[in-house]
Structure formats: structure tokens, C-alpha cells
Structure 1
């Protein structure tokens, strides 16, 4: 505890820009009766002390850039990134469908003045039902497709929209464990593909975020701040539970109650000497509508105590 107190009272983190996302309000889908309305999310994220937000699932926030710009501006909010979902390991056959999905979101992201597009790989099992959709392990050919098509996506998104893609390792996808993240990074061009390091998902899959930053620091282009409850995670692993039910069980918890400790992660990121967004994402779908705001306020206060 003394070490954490000393660290939190250290020099301010000057290269880290803190934000939050619809995910921290229990928002996983463009439209769902269990989710808070978008206007309430914007009101509450601003009231929590955050300046930056992500777009979340496309269609949750208004897709009219003029309306969205007005709604965010009057609350003192700015957009850091959009999010897309891809299955690029399936190769060129899925490119047209992928680009149709990506282009609409990239256009809105650019219109909002953001510079990043978070790319989440497709799930190998359904995150709600647990239905196995495909093999959890990629073949060598699928790894080659994943690398080449992600590079293609990075090139096209930059050329057409001026955005950088940051690929998000995620539970129940093929980019998950330390081994698979390293394999993906080693197979892709650093000039085209960067990483969105989600501290919670990486811990969920057994990875060490500080070690990754220290090893692949030049590839880390974006952060999601999240923690895992170790006791719940042990149950999830023992039962081979899909990610959606695991979230419902409470596997992602409020900082600083879980792992990894965020102070050393932020300190390691600061040492990279580049400007980085660090967006809070506490997965908790579904959740009671009055639950997110108090957590968001406490989390923002905790991150301030860390110098962020």
C-alpha cells in the first residue's frame, strides 16, 4: 500500500489522456432495452469528469455528425475513437463486407475529429449464448490472412480517412493470450498496425500489461483501462465460461479492486514518451441504469490519484 501511495503522489502523467466509453455504462449494442439512452450516457460521462469518449457500438450515439458534434460540444466532450468488428482471418472473401462496416464508422470518427479506429477481432464463440462459432485456434493460413488483411485495413483506413487502426486483443477471440498477441504483432507491419492494449482483457487471458508495454512499446497506440476480479476469473476459467456470462458474473470490476494494478501500467505507458489515450472500459452488460455513474465518478477520482 505504501508503494502505491508513493507512486500515486509522484509526478503527474503528462502524456496520458483519460476518457470513458459507452461500455462503462453497460452499452454493448446499438439498441437494447437494457441500456441507458445515449443522452443520459453523455450527461453522466460529462458529470463524472471525463473529457474524452469513444463512439461505442455504431448507431448507439447519433450517426449524424452535425447532431453528435453539437451534443458532445455542449457537454464539453470530445471523441477519441470509433470501434469496428472484423473477421479478417477469413481472408479476402470477407473484405467487401468488412469495408462496408468500417467505412461508415470511419467516416463518423473522422468527422468528430478523432484519429483512431479500434479494431476488435470476431469472437470464436457467441458472447451471449456461448455457441461455438468456429475453432478457437487459427490455422497457419488463417494467421497469414489475419496479418495481411489487417495491414490492408490499416493502409485503406489511413489513406481514405486519415485514421490509425489500433487492434484490440479480446477474450474469446483469436488475438487474446500473450503468445497470440506477440504472434500477431510480429506478423504485422508496425507502420500500419498498432495495438489497443486493454488491461482487463489481457489479464483475463493471462497477459502482463506492463511486460507488453516494455517489450512492444512502439506498437502500443492506445489503452483501455480495465481490471479483472481474480476470484471470479478463477471460477470463469474453471467453468470455461464464455465472455458474456463472465461479465454478468462480475469478472470485470471497479478499480482499484482488481488486477492489473493500473498505476504501474500508466507509469510504463508514460515512459514511452508519446501521447496516448487511456479510455476506461468497465464491462458490465447488463446493469441497472443507476449503477454506472457512481462507479465512473469514483474511477475518475482514483485515476486522478494516480496522476492521470
Structure 2
């Protein structure tokens, strides 16, 4: 019998349906996403890019509830490492997403650092390494964001290490955690992105368990990863090549990750995100259903 992972709350996200943008003809309509994520057996969803799902709180709450779903988090991107001048633009984005997340009953805001190279064209936008001053801007800015979001909207900010951003590798993730206050900001550990950048999710959970506030579950195909790494392929084209693959066919193994998360003794969301942009509209549902069955076989 698999272990009972009774502290892990499994969900999925628009990302697993090939949704990266508020509006894109290559993406499935939002009604189809909601119908299919419920059909696949999930109870929780994230909002995805702001504007993809309805932004009227009453309508969204109704659409989600009548499918038996609940919202776990909203998501924003930000470039706070650039300094105080970024704050107003960041807060305007955060304000809209956090208000909608709170109105639908969510408790988290997932914050992703901005990309240092374009995820479609590979054009270098900024150096891949931050200066000491930029690290200070990043960490203090995230702490301020955590404080303001908590005070204003009652949400917990969890920062998402992500490929092609400045918080990606084990070194960068640990530096971020060591430089920030756990009362203000914690981590959304994405198992796929962390493996993509060479990190060990189980080790991170066991070392920084008190800082793990949220999980994204995904795997990478090690052969495709080796190819894109060797050739300097940016994240977007790497996804189009299938670098993020259906569990349990990639790395890291999710059973040990989930077991380590369970041992923390706290309730954690574990949201499935299989990056698949772009993808054929009929592809996501069978994968999502198989992934849900796999996670149940792990005890989640």
C-alpha cells in the first residue's frame, strides 16, 4: 500500500492545458479548461495568467464552484531586482491578481522573478547573474511584497524559482532563502524547474523545510534537458521540444518528493504543472487524468 499523504492537497493549473497567456488562439477556452480539470479528478486550481479566467469575482466564484473546484493561488511575474522604481508597476499587477485570488478563497500568491532572456527568441534581456546591489533589491523587494500582500489581502507570498530567471539554481535558491525573512516570504518549490536547473528537491525540502510554503509538481525529460542545456536553448523552445514530460517518465521521482513534503507535518498544496505551450487541444485531458491516477498511486 502507498503511504497516506494526508497533508498534500493536489491540484492542477491552466499551464497543464497549454495556457501561458491571457488570450491566445493556440490555447483552449477557459470553459474547457475548467470542465476538463474537474473531469480529470482535481479539486484545486490556480488562476493562471490574469485575464484567462473571468476576472469578475462573482462570476469566477460561480464558475469554479459549480464544477466542484476551489482556487489555491494566483500568479504574478516581477522584476524587483531592478530597484525601487519597479515597485509601482509591480504593485499594480499584484493588486489585481491578489484581489481576485482573495475573492475566490485562495490563500497564496505565487511570485515568479522576471526572465533574463526572452523565453521565445533567446534574446538576452539582462545579465544572468545579479550584482550584490541587485540581490539586495530583490530580497528586500520580495520581503516588502510579502508584507504588503499579507497586510492588504491576507495572502502568503511564495517565490517560485524558475528557469531563465535569477532564482534558479541551488546556489541562487539558497542565497535567496538565507537572505529573506520566513515571516514575510517563502518558497514555491517547482520540482521540474529545480531539476531543470540542477537542484535536488528532496534535499531542499529536508534542508529548508520551514521555508517550503507551496509545491508545483512536474518532471523533466533528462535526454531533452541535456540537449537544450548543451545548446543554450531558452526555456520557451525547450518546452516546445517536450522538456517537461508526463509523470512518472522523467526526473525527479515524485514519490520521494511527496514523502519528504509529508514529513514536514504541515498542509501543502501540490499543484501539477506540466508546461506544454503550445499543444494540441485534445492532448491535456488524457495526460492530466493519468497524472492524477499516478499521484493517487503515490498516496496523494
Residue 107 of structure 2: aligned partner: 115
1:175 CA displacement = 0.0
Question: What's the CA shift for 1:10?
Answer: 2.9
Taking only aligned residues, the RMSD between alpha carbons, in angstroms, comes to 0.4
User: Aligned match of 2:204 in 208, 212, 215?
Assistant: 212
The whole-number CA distance in structure 1 between the counterparts of 2:236 and 2:59 is 32
1:18 deviates by 0.1
Q: Which residue of 1 aligns with 2:43?
A: 51
Aligned residue among 153, 168, 173 for 2:165: 173
1:208-287 aligned at under 5 Å gives the runs: 208-287=200-279
Aligned-partner Cα distance in 1 for 2:2–2:88: 49
Mark the runs of 5 or more structure 1 residues left unpaired by the alignment.
1-8
Match of 1:146 among 138, 141, 160: 138
In structure 2, what is the Cα distance between the partners aligned to 1:266 and 1:22? 22
Secondary structure of the equivalent of 1:304? helix
- Give, in whole Å, the separation in 1 of the partners of 2:285 and 2:96: 30
Q: Is the 8 A contact 2:81 2:135 kept in 1?
A: yes
Q: Distance in 1 between matches of 2:3 and 2:21?
A: 39
What displacement does 1:129 show? 1.1
Task: After TM superposition, give the deviation of residue 94 of structure 1 in Å.
Answer: 0.6
Distance 2:14 2:97 in 1: 15
Contact 2:49–2:75 (CA under 8 A) maintained in structure 1: yes
1:127 matches 2:126: no
Q: Distance in 2 between matches of 1:10 and 1:172?
A: 36
Which residue number corresponds to residue 149 of structure 2? 157
TM-score normalised by L of structure 2: 1.00
Structure 1 residue ranges (4+ consecutive) displaced by more than 4 angstroms after TM superposition: none
Deviation at 1:91, TM superposition (A): 1.0
Unaligned runs of 5+ in 2: none
Paired residues, what number? 300
Rounded to whole Å, the distance in 2 between the matches of 1:147 and 1:88 is: 8
